[in-house]
Amino acid sequence: MKNLMKLSPLMLLFVVLISACSKSPDKVLVKKDGVWTGNFTTTTSVTGQPDNVITGTEQITFKKDGTGSYVDSNNNTVNFTWTYSDAATSVTIVENGNSYTYVVTDMKAKSETWTSTASVTISGITTTITQVIKLTK
């Protein structure tokens, strides 16, 4: 029992340290200035057609209050809100009334990878849009 009492403060310290080192997006995205470089690849696949791939890079700012912004290719500032779901390991972005959910597939202190896939089939033709965003600090 005496040895167990000696370990308890060490175990508590270990648990606190592990919690403090969380790499979940809601903790990491807002650190320092909250500015990240987002490299994105959007692939549109249509049944029987070659894939259409669009790539780009944007500076994205995430704020602690769940808001953010980026400048688009037309030099317009786009504002959004964002939330992180620990249970689903996903980030949801709401921008101009549209909601986009990304599964966070890679979480590190200075990089994250988000993936979103949506498909629709109309008259036997399936269109799939996959977007991958690689964020780096």
For residue range 78-131, what is the model confidence (pLDDT) as tens digits? 999 999 998 889 999 999 999 999 999 888 889 999 999 999 999 999 999 999
Confidence (pLDDT) at 23: 61
pTM for this entry = 0.76
Q: Could you tell me the two tokens for 110?
A: 């200075």
Residue 108: DSSP 8-state? -
CA distances from 7 to 12, 18, 20, 64, 88 (A): 9, 16, 20, 36, 34
For residue range 12-30, what is the model confidence (pLDDT) as tens digits? 333 333 333 446 677 889 8
46: how many CB neighbours lie within 10 A of its CB?
Answer: 13
Q: Is 113 helix (H, G, I), strand (E, B) or coil?
A: strand
